[in-house]
């Protein structure tokens, strides 16, 4: 069994034995579609326990290279301890690692929107040689932790050419907005627009794509996890319009892995249903992870939203669309 051990020497070795649970994805004429539902059923009732052993505190960094392909700086606080405990036991978002393993291609670009301190960005680099990541993180504390982790994993970065960090928050319009975390403070992954007094720069989806020269034809996955009150409900409609127009022109459509938060807060289930309707303009199938349902039917989406309140959705095109 691989170990999850603290290290003091900064990691420089190439990742070894990087893996995730094997999927049963369908490939048709070179186009990727949703993994078979029985895979997701098994995935959501299991975890990655056994990949790495129990963690211990007291050193500068955690060496996770044998299991995840990267190392993380050690932060001895409640949020990080909760995170590393779950990561080391295989219980921190195992479906996210599996999705990245399934869809991130070599020599492609991954959009990690809401990168936090970088576990999924680093995993994308580890599992797909030559891949690049555009990591969006407006939280200043989380962004510093991300920068520290990127330095720790400099062997993956290949002279800083594989990761670009965007300090803007994605929003409905470009400009500025207040940002914060009224409950837990910065750095814990729950910071959001409208919940504090820090002023941060914002970019609309259109300006984001333009400023960072995002070419959807080379993007292998869009991952978005950006909280509420100025989060996905203000970004998804413009993003979906852009993707739909790109698809209509014969462009490639990358899978979208989206975390939904709105129903559990102030915006209500109808807002989430409207977001899913926007997504169905450019994607053919939605995997509602918590419900373990693959659908393109908005009524089934309504049942999911009303039952689960919030959750994660994997959105893909039909097998023939990206031929």
pLDDT band at 191 (very low <50, low <70, confident <90, very high): low
Tens of pLDDT, residue by residue over 265-279, are 445 677 788 888 999
Residue 9 has pLDDT above 80, yes or no: no
Residue 74 — pLDDT band, cuts 50, 70, 90? confident
Look at residue 12 in the predicted model and tell me its pLDDT. 32
- How would residue 210 be classed by pLDDT, with cut points 50, 70 and 90? very high
The band of 136, judged by pLDDT with boundaries at 50, 70 and 90, is: very high
Q: Which pLDDT band holds residue 183 (cuts at 50, 70, 90)?
A: low
On the question of pLDDT at 40 being above 90, the answer is: no
Tokens describing residue 120: 């999924």
The rounded mean pLDDT for the chain is: 77
pTM recorded for the entire structure? 0.82
Band (pLDDT 50/70/90 cuts) for residue 43 is: very low
For residues 13-34, give the mean pLDDT.
37
Residue 17: per-residue pLDDT: 36
Which domains does the chain show, CATH number per domain?
22-47+92-316 (3.40.50.150)
Higher pLDDT, 294 or 315: 315
What confidence score (pLDDT) does residue 110 get? 98
């Amino acid at each position: 069994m691989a170990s999850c051990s603290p290290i003091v020497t900064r990691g420089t070795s190439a990742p070894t034995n990087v893996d995730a649970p094997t999927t049963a994805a369908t490939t048709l004429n070179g186009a990727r579609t949703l993994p078979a539902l029985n895979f997701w059923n098994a995935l959501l009732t299991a975890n990655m326990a056994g990949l790495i052993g129990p963690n211990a505190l007291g050193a500068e960094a955690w060496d996770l290279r044998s299991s995840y392909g990267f190392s993380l700086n050690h932060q001895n606080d409640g949020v990080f301890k909760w995170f590393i405990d779950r990561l080391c036991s295989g219980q921190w978002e195992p479906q996210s690692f599996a999705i990245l393993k399934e869809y991130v291609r070599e020599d492609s670009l991954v959009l990690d929107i809401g990168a936090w301190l970088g576990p999924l960005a680093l995993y994308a680099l580890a599992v797909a040689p030559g891949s690049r990541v555009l990591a969006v993180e407006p939280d200043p504390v989380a962004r510093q932790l991300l920068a520290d982790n990127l330095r720790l994993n400099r062997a993956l970065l290949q002279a800083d050419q594989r990761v670009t960090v965007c300090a803007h928050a994605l929003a409905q319009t470009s400009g500025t907005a207040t940002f914060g975390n009224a409950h837990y403070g910065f750095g814990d992954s729950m910071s959001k627009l409208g919940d504090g007094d820090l002023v941060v720069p914002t970019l609309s989806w259109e300006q984001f794509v333009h400023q960072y020269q995002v070419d959807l034809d080379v993007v292998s996955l869009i991952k978005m996890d950006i909280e509420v009150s100025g989060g996905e409900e203000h970004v998804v409609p413009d993003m979906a319009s852009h993707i739909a127009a790109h698809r209509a022109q014969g462009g490639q459509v990358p899978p979208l892995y989206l975390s939904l938060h709105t129903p559990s807060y102030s915006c209500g289930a109808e807002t989430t249903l409207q977001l899913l309707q926007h997504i169905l303009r450019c994607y053919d199938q939605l995997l509602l992870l918590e419900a373990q349902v693959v659908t393109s039917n908005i009524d089934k989406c309504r049942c999911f939203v009303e039952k689960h309140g919030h959750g994660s959705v994997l959105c893909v095109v039909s097998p023939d669309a990206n031929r």
